[in-house]
Structure 1
Amino acid sequence: MGLSLAASFVFLPPDQTSQASSKHIFWDERPAKAPGGGVRRPFLWFSSPEPRDKRTVIFFHGNAEDLQLIEADLFLFTKAMKCNVLAVEYPGYGLSRQSKGSEEVSFAGVEDVGMHALAYCCQEQGIHPSQIVLHGRSLGSAPVLRLAQQAYDLLRWEIGGIILQCPFISIRQVAADYAGMAGSLLIPSDCYNNMDALQRLCPKSGGRFVPILILHGELDKVIKPYHGRALLQQALDSGHPAIEGHFPSNATHNHWSLREDLVKPADSFLQRHVEGWREEVPWLGNGISLRCF
């Protein structure tokens, strides 16, 4: 099975998308010859409560979600983390499939969206790459790892950090969990192989390290937590000097406590490992739980 056919199994856009408009959704297009340029795309932007704050998270959502479905949760996340948040939309998802000349969903298309988002933050918002953290949830963990490497290879931009939430070893391994090894062989070995992508960000592999936090709920039945633990152990064995894992005992794939499971460990990690991420964050109440996180 080629990657183009695999994409039809990997990417699962939600069936319906709300038509409601939002002041936080905007459209942007980069120059045609620039990485990720030449296509007008939708993004979701929340500004930090501190107007001059340049600390920014670029968020890549999971499968069966789109920008409008995650908007409310990201609003709370922005307030809690006290930073800017830019969320990307994948080709063929949500508003992107409603636009004129919309792209078909593909692995290359998702990579282009990531480069587009990064360029927007750096060139339009004046944010230095070292102040940007890439946050990928579930499916989004794969393009995040590739974007960090691609940004350095193409532009020599060094990303500040990475958060992988409910990540997977590879699409083939996820298929093996559900269909057994025989069924997994239908998926190409290089189809979103996060283990290989992570290895390229480890010093022993000749790569440059980026601080990485792995978050995985112990009650996750969609992508089992052994995936996150395996990625963490592989990076530690490869000499990564700034990788940590947090495995909240009550978190599932889709339900996390904003304060205890996400904001506390993320902010603590970023303050230790990412320059400029030093200000104290006002926590939200214990009772708040997010669907998309």
Structure 2
Amino acid sequence: MRLPSTPSPALSRRLRRPLLSLALLGALASGLFAGCSTLDEQQRRWIFQASADAPWPQERRGPRDDGLENVWIEHPSALSGRPVTLHALWSPNESADAPLLLYLHGARRNIEASRFRIAQMRALGFSVLAIDYRGFGQSTDELPSEAGVLEDARAAWDWLARQHPGRPRYVFGHSLGGAIAVQLAEAVDDERGLIVEGSFTSIADVFRTFKWGWLPVTPLITQRFDSADAIARVGSPVLIVHGSRDGLILPQLGRALYERAVEPKRFVLVEGGTHYSTNGVGQPLYREALRELFGIGAVPRPTATGAGAPAPAAAPAGS
């Protein structure tokens, strides 16, 4: 029987988990023998899987033909002492007072490859700003770190506040971006809500779900992304979403993250959702959760203008 030239998506997911496990083991082993600096760098390469694109010519930084707007955010990095430039995509909602959403993507894929999820979050009622961290896409070509991407997320959060003052802001993160979103929400006090999809409690906990997770190497992990600890200090409502068929980040990790959050909170398990399809498959559940937890899309109660009078149009949360 002739084998297919490329594996099926399901087979790819089954293969990727042991490959990720072996990759982290390799990073830990090579770094251990070469020294602490290499140990840290190897883990950062494995965890982020970042790749910078060739710089765009100036004319490509202008208007686009896909309805999105290129945004360039510059901020000084306290880690490197050098300025960092972030490439972002801005997708405004047709409603001028729609709530704002900072979109934080996961490992490997940049914002150009995340446009489908940007569109899905916009369809839920948000104006969306999605950023590439340093080391990704058109942003500054620098090896990212846990501390560095949090700097980048905070710079984008502050950009939204400057450009759209007074508008309610939410933070959304997918996969590794969920861990960044949790830390950002812990660090600021002006977010209206936190939304996390397909994420986890910590990098160490993710490794423990892999084939070689029984090995006692987790104390060597430098990029820990301890979301379980941080989410307990988030002061806004929290929505945790996970796909029942997520074979990369198992649903029990999303549930465990939810258990550590404080009320008000909600956990949504999307039946049939995978690591990459949950956002689209779960749109009806998203709408319900956003309405109940954040009041986005909620129909206000009739006023005393008269029994049976039609309710006024729904307003975005925080308007």
TM-score, normalization by structure 2:
0.70
Give yes or no for the alignment of 1:265 onto 2:299: no
Give yes or no for the alignment of 1:199 onto 2:243: no
Counterparts of 2:242 and 2:116, CA distance in 1: 22
Query: Are the equivalent residues in 2 in contact too, given 1:25–1:43 (CA < 8 A)?
Result: yes
Structure 2 CA distance for partners of 1:273 and 1:112, relative to 1, 3 Å? same
Cα distance, 1:28 vs. partner?
Answer: 2.2
Cα distance, 1:8 vs. partner?
Answer: 2.3
3-state SS of paired residue (2:290): helix
Matches within 5 A, 1:30-45: 30=75, 38-45=83-90
Give yes or no for the alignment of 1:182 onto 2:215: yes
Of 161-170 and 20-29, more deviation after overlay is shown by: 20-29
Matches within 5 A, 1:51-130: 52-78=96-122, 80-97=123-140, 102-128=141-167
The match for 2:178 is 141
Cα distance, 1:72 vs. partner?
Answer: 3.8
Cα distance, 1:96 vs. partner?
Answer: 1.2
3-state SS of paired residue (2:221): coil
3-state SS of paired residue (1:232): helix
The match for 1:160 is 192
Counterparts of 2:241 and 2:146, CA distance in 1: 24
Q: How many residues align?
A: 253
Give yes or no for the alignment of 1:213 onto 2:213: no
Counterparts of 2:51 and 2:272, CA distance in 1: 26
The match for 2:74 is 29
Unaligned runs of 5+ in 2: 1-35, 300-312, 315-319
Counterparts of 1:184 and 1:169, CA distance in 2: 17
Counterparts of 1:194 and 1:37, CA distance in 2: 28
For 1:192, the aligned partner's letter is F
Structure 2 CA distance for partners of 1:257 and 1:45, relative to 1, 3 Å? closer
Structure 2 CA distance for partners of 1:4 and 1:58, relative to 1, 3 Å? same
| Percent sequence identity over aligned pairs | 23
Which of these two proteins has the greater Rg computed from alpha carbons?
Answer: 2
Query: Are the equivalent residues in 2 in contact too, given 1:54–1:127 (CA < 8 A)?
Result: no
Counterparts of 1:173 and 1:32, CA distance in 2: 29
Question: How far does the alpha carbon of each residue in 1:46-67 deviate from its partner, in whole angstroms, 9 at most, with x for none?
Answer: 00111x2240111111111001
Query: Are the equivalent residues in 2 in contact too, given 1:217–1:247 (CA < 8 A)?
Result: yes
Counterparts of 1:172 and 1:134, CA distance in 2: 24
Cα distance, 1:16 vs. partner?
Answer: 6.3
Counterparts of 2:92 and 2:288, CA distance in 1: 21
The match for 2:93 is 48
Counterparts of 1:32 and 1:169, CA distance in 2: 27
For 1:168, the aligned partner's letter is F
Counterparts of 2:100 and 2:82, CA distance in 1: 21
Counterparts of 1:275 and 1:58, CA distance in 2: 18
Counterparts of 2:156 and 2:82, CA distance in 1: 10
Query: Are the equivalent residues in 1 in contact too, given 2:104–2:173 (CA < 8 A)?
Result: yes
Query: Are the equivalent residues in 1 in contact too, given 2:71–2:87 (CA < 8 A)?
Result: yes
The match for 2:270 is 248
For 1:194, the aligned partner's letter is S
The match for 1:284 is none
3-state SS of paired residue (1:77): helix
Counterparts of 2:251 and 2:226, CA distance in 1: 16
For 2:256, the aligned partner's letter is A
Q: CA RMSD in A?
A: 2.9
Query: Are the equivalent residues in 1 in contact too, given 2:44–2:223 (CA < 8 A)?
Result: no
Cα distance, 1:226 vs. partner?
Answer: 0.7
Unaligned runs of 5+ in 1: 153-157, 202-208, 282-293
Counterparts of 1:186 and 1:112, CA distance in 2: 25
3-state SS of paired residue (1:265): helix
Question: How far does the alpha carbon of each residue in 1:140-165 deviate from its partner, in whole angstroms, 9 at most, with x for none?
Answer: 0111011112123xxxxx21001110
Cα distance, 1:14 vs. partner?
Answer: 5.0
Query: Are the equivalent residues in 2 in contact too, given 1:162–1:213 (CA < 8 A)?
Result: yes
Question: How far does the alpha carbon of each residue in 1:117-176 deviate from its partner, in whole angstroms, 9 at most, with x for none?
Answer: 111110122244xx1111110010111011112123xxxxx2100111001121011112
